[in-house]
């Protein structure tokens, strides 16, 4: 039985050796004697020595296969490339920085072997070592997206997971370009078992996700998985229009029946309303823009990534 381990790497020259050693340990451990492994490293356009490291490993170790991207396409694209390349019966995705403990892999394999589930996924139960403000926004994101979407996206779920072949094939059938894997994993379904672990800090290097990048990613996730915000825009618009109409009626009655005309003091409230409604319209337009933009990008049908070089494949 073949097990593929996919590792997206972006400027990971410091942590990659740690991970590679840990993966070799797993491969050579007692528990995994009856399994064969392939390690698939995806170099996501790193500007450091990551690519050279990966090629070195591939030269000395037949388990290692790789794809080198022509530039940085993002972790999502790297995961997709890895899934496409993987041939294993079980496929796992893990970070290069040891935040996804490789020591969990034997247990994950055991669960799949016992056929208790189709996916074993890891989930952080703590966010220790992460800036407080980031945890707060992350938690809010999960609350919001789960209210709006039909599929449940677990808080603290990482991309670290071991999946059966059927699940991988299902994920590869989702060919959209603006990928939000946490959502896609939940969307394809299948029986999932969660392994909980505490947050492990990075072994080396720095996180590649700035606050702004994470924020964009959150918007991508919401827009990719629900059209609820569009509905929100129309509901809010309707409420405002209704309020405006009632307001208008009120003044009309005041003028016709009560004969009150001297309305200069009403000027501030008028201004408020104009500003408020103007803001709402802009917001709704922005929302629609997100979806239209997305449609535009999808219709261009560009590939998710461009390969500069990949490990040689033996012909079968
Ligand atoms: N990564 C990538 N492309 C990117 C950013 C990150 O392939 O543009 C990889 C990175 O090398 C690592 C994983 O995605 O293996 C997770 O990144 P990181 O540890 O920076 O994220 P965090 O753990 O802080 O969420
Ligand atoms: Mg990390």
pLDDT digits (tens, 9 = 90+) for 208-258: 778 888 888 888 888 877 777 877 877 887 888 788 778 878 877 877 887
246 plus 268 within the same structural domain: yes
Distance (angstroms) between ligand 1 centre and the Cα of 201 equals 13
Residue range 76-122, pLDDT digits in tens: 899 999 999 999 899 999 988 888 888 888 888 888 888 888 998 88
134 plus 171 within the same structural domain: yes
* CA proximity to 119, closest of 162, 156, 160: 162
Report percent pLDDT > 90 for the chain: 17
95 plus 188 within the same structural domain: yes
The structural domain count of the chain equals 2
205 plus 113 within the same structural domain: yes
Please report which confidence band the pLDDT of residue 147 belongs to, taking 50, 70 and 90 as the band edges: confident
285 plus 143 within the same structural domain: no
Please report which confidence band the pLDDT of residue 262 belongs to, taking 50, 70 and 90 as the band edges: low
Residue 115 lies in a domain: yes
130 plus 275 within the same structural domain: no
Parallel, antiparallel, or unpaired for β 36-43 and 192-197? unpaired
- Of 18, 75, 305, the residue with max ligand 1 atoms within 8 A of its CB, to mutate for a pocket test, comes to 75
> Following CA atoms 172, 174, 175, 177 in sequence, which dihedral angle do they give, to the nearest 10 degrees?
-120
42 plus 124 within the same structural domain: yes
198 plus 282 within the same structural domain: no
3-state secondary structure 182-238: HHHHHHHCCCEEEEEECCCCCCCCCCCCCHHHHHHHHHHHHHHHCCHHHHHHHHHHH
Q: What is the pLDDT of residue 92?
A: 93
Q: What is the pLDDT of residue 81?
A: 93
96 plus 193 within the same structural domain: yes
| pTM, two decimal places | 0.76
Distance CA 295, CA 215 (A): 20
171 plus 288 within the same structural domain: no
Residue 263 belongs to what domain range? 228-300
Distance (angstroms) between ligand 1 centre and the Cα of 76 equals 10
- Within 6 Å (CB) of ligand 1, which residues are found? 8-10, 12, 44, 72, 74-75, 78, 95-97, 99, 207-209
């Amino acid at each position: 039985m073949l097990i593929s381990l996919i590792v997206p790497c972006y400027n990971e020259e410091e942590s990659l050796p740690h991970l590679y050693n840990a993966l070799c340990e797993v491969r050579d451990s007692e528990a995994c004697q009856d399994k064969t492994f392939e390690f698939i490293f995806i170099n996501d356009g790193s500007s450091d020595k990551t690519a050279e490291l990966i090629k070195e490993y591939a030269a000395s170790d037949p388990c290692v296969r790789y794809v080198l991207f022509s530039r940085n396409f993002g972790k999502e694209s790297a995961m997709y490339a890895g899934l496409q390349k993987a041939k294993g019966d079980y496929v796992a995705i893990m970070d290069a920085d040891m935040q996804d403990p490789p020591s969990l892999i034997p247990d994950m394999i055991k669960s799949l072997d016992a056929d208790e589930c189709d996916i074993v996924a890891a989930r952080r139960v703590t966010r220790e070592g992460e800036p407080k403000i980031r945890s707060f926004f992350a938690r809010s994101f999960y609350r919001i997206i789960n209210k709006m979407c039909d599929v449940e996206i677990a808080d603290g779920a990482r991309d670290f997971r071991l999946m059966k072949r059927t699940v991988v094939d299902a994920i590869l059938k989702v060919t959209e370009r603006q990928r939000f894997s946490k959502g896609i994993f939940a969307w394809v379904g299948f029986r999932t078992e969660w392994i909980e672990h505490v947050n492990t800090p990075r072994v080396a290097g720095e996180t590649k996700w700035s606050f702004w990048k994470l924020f964009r990613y959150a918007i991508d996730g919401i827009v990719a998985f629900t059209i609820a915000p569009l509905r929100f825009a129309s509901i809010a618009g309707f409420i405002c229009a209704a309020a405006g109409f009632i307001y208008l009626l009120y003044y009309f009655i005041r003028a016709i029946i009560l004969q009150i005309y001297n309305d200069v003091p009403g000027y501030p409230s008028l201004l408020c309303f104009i500003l408020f409604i103007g803001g709402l319209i802009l917001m709704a337009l922005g929302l629609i823009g997100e979806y239209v933009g997305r449609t535009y990008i999808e219709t261009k049908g560009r590939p998710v990534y461009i390969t500069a070089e990949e490990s040689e494949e033996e012909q079968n």
